[in-house]
Structure formats: structure tokens, C-alpha cells
Amino acid sequence: MKWRQLHLLCRRLNTGINRSLCVGYSKRTSVLRNYCSAVSENNTHHLNTTRAETLSAPMAALEEIANVTKISDRVIRVLGQNPGKFTLQGTNTYLIGTSNPYILIDTAEGREEFIPVLRNALLTEAKPSNPILPDVSDIIISHWHHDHVGGLPTVLALLKQLWTSRNPSTPYSPPRLHKHPLPPRVVSEEEAKWHILPKILAALPEDLYTAAPSGEVLHVLADSQVLEPPGTTLRVIHTPGHTRDSISLYIPQDRALYTADTVLGQGTAVFEDLGLYLKSLNKMLKLGGLEGDKESDYDILYPSHGPVVAKGQETIANYIKHRLDREVQVLQLLAVLPEQTQGLSDSQGQWTTWDIVKKLYASYPESLWLPAARGIELHLKKLEEEGRIRKLGGEGKDVAWRLVSRTPTPSL
């Protein structure tokens, strides 16, 4: 396959593939085509499922983030080159360790511009102190969203290329890929359309990764598991809610918590399951008090989007308060008959999801109401599961609800 054909094929991703990384893979047309097909269907984030109610900061107000930043002696942040409404400045990837081989957290979206930035980081700030060891021994995937996994093929190809250029006659030991598993459940057709990771993994050349003992591509991450790149400790914390496979990572030497998309550097995050999300936020907030282990305390947060958060625990507490305040607003609204609220409801004495959105977001532009409805639906789902409201019927935003108990969720 000629380079021009390959380039045109890869443009279907809206990401591209660096020409030098494609050398040696020209015969693997089917592999690249499968990958392109997977990503081309997902070049916008899954608005209908997890990015609906976004309260992130306007692009003009975002703090500038350098492409490569040495945050501490053991943490280097590399920006994913995919800025946008939902990704803010872009996806933050991190190289963890005091020397090679490092652990890489996430691979960004797969934009062509990311590869030279990561290459530069690996040749400068993360320059290998031991050239006969790989640059990266392990890659941790924080969760399944495409702006965290889309770069896997090109990142893996880069790592092999760096090794080959440094040690042309020495066999390559490719990195292990780690991820917390998604729990078994029925996945809707709509959700499956956005879940491209299985297609990406199936298309990876076997010489670019070290398989798990089971033969699977991914090594399974577990809650409380510890990984130890040089001079550093990472403790895995399963923090579902944003997605069911989301993790955080505690870095004791930095008194820091990597939060992935559960807590952002600016604005607020979104979630698939509000009940799980609040439990995870509380788990993160109380991390320092687990089993009296005060050495698990932390000050700062390393998010997947946005700058470092200096007041980590205060920020997480504010996230919890924001969600509980919204819940109280929903319960208070359901406690009054719709006709007592200036005729906002057309539902003849019952509150619908859309009625609630119109009331709570009355001061926002109407263009934001439909996205906001997704967040309200998740609040209502949590309250229904807890037996505090009852679903009366209807579909979508026209579902009607009745209050059973207005007791709010306990605070922190």
C-alpha cells in the first residue's frame, strides 16, 4: 500500500497517522482499515450518553497548557492535541516515573499532531537514562472513551520505532496494556456505536504489545492494585460513575491523585451513573482516612482535562455539593404541583422531565435545555432507584414523575 493511499485512508479518522510510523505496516491494510472504520464513526464525543450536561468552562476562559510539562520529578504531562468543547485544552496523558521505563497513562484521541509531541517528550524531559531499557513498560487506560484510547495504535508504533532506532539489533519488549474491566451488562446499540476500544484492540499488531498471561490484549486492573514505575508508586482506585470502568491513581510521593475524567481541572464533569459517581467522589474525598492510613492523604489532582488542581479535596467536596444541591432542587420541585409554578407544565398536575428542565434552567439559553435534560434524567434515575420518586409513564423527556419521599441524600 502506497503512502498516499495510507494517508488518505487514515484521514478518515480525523486523526491521521505519522508517515514514519507506518513504515513496516504497509501490508496490514485490513488492520488499518478496521481501525479507521472504528474511529471515523466516533470522531465526535458521545453526546447522547456521557457528554450531555456539560458545565465546562468556555474555551476562551481556559488556562493555557503547554504541550509538555514536567509537573514533578516523577510526572510529565503531555497534551493530546485534541482541544474542543468537551475535551477542554485536550486530553492530558502522563508519563510516570523518575526514569525509563515509564508508565504512560492514556494515549489521547489519536490525532496526528500528538505523535511528534509525545516523541519530543520521550527524547527530552523523559529521555531514557538507560538506553537498553524500553521508554515505556506499561500503558494504563483510565476508561473506554475514545479521546483516551484512540491513540493506542500510533503510540505503540512510536514506542517500537524509538526502540529500534536506539537498539536496532536487540529484540523489542513491548509495553503491557492495563485497564479495569467493564462489568458484564447489556449494552445498547447506541452505546456500542461509541465503544471503539474492542475494534482498536482487535486491530493491533501483536508485536506492539505484551499480552496478558491469559492471552488477552489487556492486563486486568483491580481496585487497590499497585504498580511501581522507577521511583514511584501508583495505587489503583476504581472510581466508577463517569464510566463504569473509570479509575483514579494515587501517587503518594507527589501527594497527588490522578482523577481521569471523574474530576476535571476546570468546570465540572459528567457521568453515566449519578449514584456510582457520588460514591466514587466520596471514596476519593475520604481516601486519606481509609483504615486510618493518613499517608494516603493528598493535596493536588492530576486530571485528564485541564490544569493541575491545587486544592484537591476542596474541589472534590464542591463537586459533591453541586450534585446534592441539584438533587435538592429536583425534590423541592416535585413537592409542588406544576400548576403552582406559573403554568410551566403541560402535564396536567404531573411533573415531566422536560418540565423540571424548563424550571431549573429557565435562566439558561433554550439551546442548552436538551443537553441539560440528560443530567436531570440521571438525577431522576438515582432518586427512582432509591425509592424516593416514582415513574408514572411516558417516554424520553416526557416521562412523568411523582414524589414519594423528599428526604435528601446525606451530605459529605
The whole-number pLDDT of residue 409 equals 72
> Residue 1 pLDDT more than 60?
no
Mean pLDDT, residues 14-26 taken together: 38
Tell whether 85 and 152 lie within a shared domain: yes
Residue 398 is given by DSSP the state: G
The whole-number pLDDT of residue 302 equals 98
Residue 129 lies in a domain: yes
The whole-number pLDDT of residue 412 equals 56
Residue 120 lies in a domain: yes
The secondary element (H helix, E strand) that includes residue 382 is: helix 369-385
Residue 173 is given by DSSP the state: -
DSSP string across 318-381: HHHHHHHHHHHHHHHHHTS-GGGSTT---SSS-EEHHHHHHHHTTTS-GGGHHHHHHHHHHHHH
Q: Could you tell me the pLDDT band of residue 268, with boundaries at 50, 70 and 90?
A: confident
The whole-number pLDDT of residue 256 equals 97
The total number of structural domains in the chain stands at: 3
The whole-number pLDDT of residue 59 equals 54
Least-confidence region, from 8-12, 135-139, 252-256, 303-307: 8-12
Tell whether 158 and 279 lie within a shared domain: yes
Residue 157 lies in a domain: yes
> Residue 20 pLDDT more than 90?
no
Reference 357, options 44, 52, 56, 51; nearest CA is: 52
**Domain of residue 67, residue span:** 59-310
The whole-number pLDDT of residue 269 equals 87
The whole-number pLDDT of residue 368 equals 87
Tell whether 357 and 393 lie within a shared domain: yes
Tell whether 219 and 340 lie within a shared domain: no
Least-confidence region, from 42-46, 239-243, 298-302, 312-316: 42-46
- Evaluate whether 106 touches 141 at the Cβ level (below 8 Å): yes
Cβ neighbours of 372 (radius 10 Å):
19
Tell whether 216 and 305 lie within a shared domain: yes
Cβ neighbours of 319 (radius 10 Å):
21
The Cα 74–Cα 251 span in angstroms is 10
> Residue 291 pLDDT more than 50?
no
CATH number of the domain at 362, please: 1.10.10.10
Tell whether 103 and 179 lie within a shared domain: yes
Tell whether 94 and 158 lie within a shared domain: yes
Q: Could you tell me the pLDDT band of residue 405, with boundaries at 50, 70 and 90?
A: confident
Tell whether 207 and 281 lie within a shared domain: yes
pLDDT digits (tens, 9 = 90+) for 47-68: 333 333 443 455 558 899 999 9
Tell whether 97 and 147 lie within a shared domain: yes
Residue 330 lies in a domain: no
Residue 68 lies in a domain: yes
The Cα 334–Cα 185 span in angstroms is 31
> Residue 196 pLDDT more than 50?
yes
Residue 326 lies in a domain: no
Tell whether 238 and 188 lie within a shared domain: yes
The Cα 330–Cα 275 span in angstroms is 15
pLDDT digits (tens, 9 = 90+) for 314-339: 999 999 999 999 999 999 999 987 66
> Residue 23 pLDDT more than 70?
no
Tell whether 64 and 97 lie within a shared domain: yes
Tell whether 303 and 366 lie within a shared domain: no
